[in-house]
Amino acid sequence: MNTRVLTGITTSGTPHLGNYAGAIRPSIQASNLPGVDAFYFMADYHALIKCGDPQRIARSRLEIAATWIAAGLDPEKVTFYRQSDIPEIPELCWMLTCVTAKGLMNRAHAYKASVDQNLAKQVEPDDGVNMGLFSYPILMAADILMFNANKVPVGRDQIQHIEMTRDIAQRFNHLYGQGSEFFVMPEVQIDDDVATLPGLDGRKMSKSYDNTIPLFEGGAKALRPAIMRIVTDSLEPGQPKDAEGSHLFSLYRAFATPAESLDFRQQLESGLGWGDAKNLLAARIEQELAPMRERYADLMDRPDRIEDILQAGAAKARSLSQPFMARLRDAVGLRAAPAVVAGKRAGAADKKQAGKHARFVSFRDEAGKFRFRLLGADGLELLLSEPFDNPKAIGALTQAMQNAPLSSLATEDNGIVQVNIDGTLVASFPAAKLESVALAIDGLSQG
C-alpha cells in the first residue's frame, strides 16, 4: 500500500517566495517519490473563517491553483482539488462535530490565543470569535480523515490539529466501528530540512510581517526591487562579510546548489559588496522562477484550463469520498427507508429466532484461562468475556446474565458498556452493540 500524504493550503492570499520554498517546492518533490499518493487541496472553506472578502477568496483560489501547476505539480499524479468541490467533506465535518467534545475545542491554541487577546483588551472572552474559528480543527479533521491520510506535512503550528484529528477519529471508530475501523490514524510530518525563508527584515517571511518577496506577482520586474530592499549591515564593498549571519545568504542558499552557495559565501567573505550580492541573488532566483512564471502567466490567461484541471481533480477525489461517505452514512444510521424496514423485519425475526440461534459458548484461551463468547443468531461474536480461572464460573455467569435484565448488570461509560456481576467485571463491549447483545440474551432466556 502506498503512503497517502495530504495537505491543505488556505486560500486567503497570493503565494510569495517563502510559500514557494517552504511548502510548494518540497511538496511537489515529495509527490514524485515512489510509494507516495499525494493529496493536495485548496482549503477554501477554511479561508472563509478569517476572510469576508469574496473577491480576495476567488482570486486566491485561482492564483494558488495556477502557482502549484506552474511550479510543476502533475495533476495526473497528484489528487489536486478544491475542498469546496467535495461536498462529502462538510458532511463528514458535521458527523465528526457530533462526536467531538466541546472541551477539546476549548483547548485549541488558535481559539485560546483569541480569548487571551480579548482578555488582555478587557473585552468579552469570545469577542469576534465565530463558530468557524472555534471548530476549525474539526473541519481540518474531516479533510484528513475523508481520504484516510497516513502523513500530513504541516508547520509546527498545526501539530495540535493533527493530534485532535486522531482523538476525533478514535472516538468515531470507537462509537460506530463495531470492530471495523473507519479511519486510520494520521501522523504529522514536520520537515526540518525545508527552508524557512527569512523575509526582507530577517524575520520569517510572512504576509503578517509585511516582509515578503513576491513569487510571480508583478512579474520579473517586481522581483529585483524587492530583493534590493533586503536589510543588510552597513559594511562597505571590500570589507569581509559574515555570510552565515546574513539572511541574504540564507535566501541564496535556498535556491542554489551547494557548490554555488560555497562560491557565493567565499565571495562575501572576501568583500563582495551588498549591492553586487543582491544582483547575484536576484539572478539566481530569477533563473529558477522564469520558466515557471511563464507557465503561470499562460495559465492565468486561460482560467478555463485551470477549472478543467480542478474539476478532474474533484472527480478523482470524489471517486473515493462518495463510496466512503455511503459507508459512513450507513454506520451512523442515515439509511434509505427500505433498508430501515428490512433491518427492522430482520430484527423482529431475530428476536424470535434468537432463542434458537443465539448462544453462549465457553472455551479455554491461549493462556489456559476460561472464557465465554455470546454469538448472535448469525453466528457472529457479540461479546467476549474476561478470563476466569475456574471453569465453573462460566456456567454461573452466563446463567446470571440470562436471569437478570441486562440493564441491571450493565453500565456505560464513554461509549463502552461493562457487565458486572456481584462486583466482578465479566465483559465489556462497544455501546453500539448494546441493542444486539440485549436482544440476543432476551431471546435466549425466553427460549
Closer of 152 and 223 to ligand TRP (Cβ)? 152
Give the residue, chosen from 140, 169, 309, 401, that forms a contact with ligand TRP under the rule CB under 6 A. Answer: 140
DSSP-assigned letters across all residues of 91-158: HHHHHHHTTS-HHHHHT-HHHHHHHHHHHHTTS-TTTT--HHHHTHHHHHHHHHHHTT-SEEE--GGG
Q: Which of residues 43-82 bind ligand TRP (CB under 6 A)?
A: 43, 46
The piece of 24-32, 140-148, 227-235, 371-379 that touches ligand TRP (CB under 6 A) is 140-148
Mark 150-169 with x for binding to ligand TRP (rule: CB under 6 A) and - for no binding: --x-x---x-----------
Closest CA to 402 of 351, 352, 437: 437
Number of residues that bind ligand TRP (CB under 6 A): 12
Give the residue, chosen from 144, 145, 200, 427, that forms a contact with ligand TRP under the rule CB under 6 A. Answer: 144
Q: Return the residue nearest ligand TRP (CB atom).
A: 8
Structural element, H or E, at residue 39 = strand 36-43
Structural element, H or E, at residue 318 = helix 303-332
Determine contact, residues 163/141, Cβ cutoff 8 Å.
no
DSSP-assigned letters across all residues of 380-410: -EEEEBPPBS-HHHHHHHHHHHHHS-HHHHE
Minimal distance, residue 324 CB to ligand TRP, in Å:
16
CA separation for the pair 332, 196 (Å, rounded): 43
Closer of 7 and 79 to ligand TRP (Cβ)? 7
Closer of 138 and 440 to ligand TRP (Cβ)? 138
Report if residue 8 touches ligand TRP, rule: CB under 6 A.
Answer: yes
Determine contact, residues 255/285, Cβ cutoff 8 Å.
yes
Minimal distance, residue 147 CB to ligand TRP, in Å:
10
Closer of 162 and 282 to ligand TRP (Cβ)? 162
The H-assigned helical ranges of 184-273 are 220-228, 247-253, 258-269
Closer of 155 and 219 to ligand TRP (Cβ)? 155
Mark 28-47 with x for binding to ligand TRP (rule: CB under 6 A) and - for no binding: ---------------x--x-
Closer of 4 and 433 to ligand TRP (Cβ)? 4
Mark 91-130 with x for binding to ligand TRP (rule: CB under 6 A) and - for no binding: ----------------------------------------
CA separation for the pair 314, 318 (Å, rounded): 6
CA separation for the pair 128, 117 (Å, rounded): 11
Closer of 144 and 325 to ligand TRP (Cβ)? 144
CA separation for the pair 78, 64 (Å, rounded): 15
Determine contact, residues 206/269, Cβ cutoff 8 Å.
no
**C-alpha cell read off for 8:** 491543505
- The residues that touch ligand TRP, with contacts defined as CB under 6 A, are 6-8, 10, 43, 46, 140, 143-144, 152, 154, 158
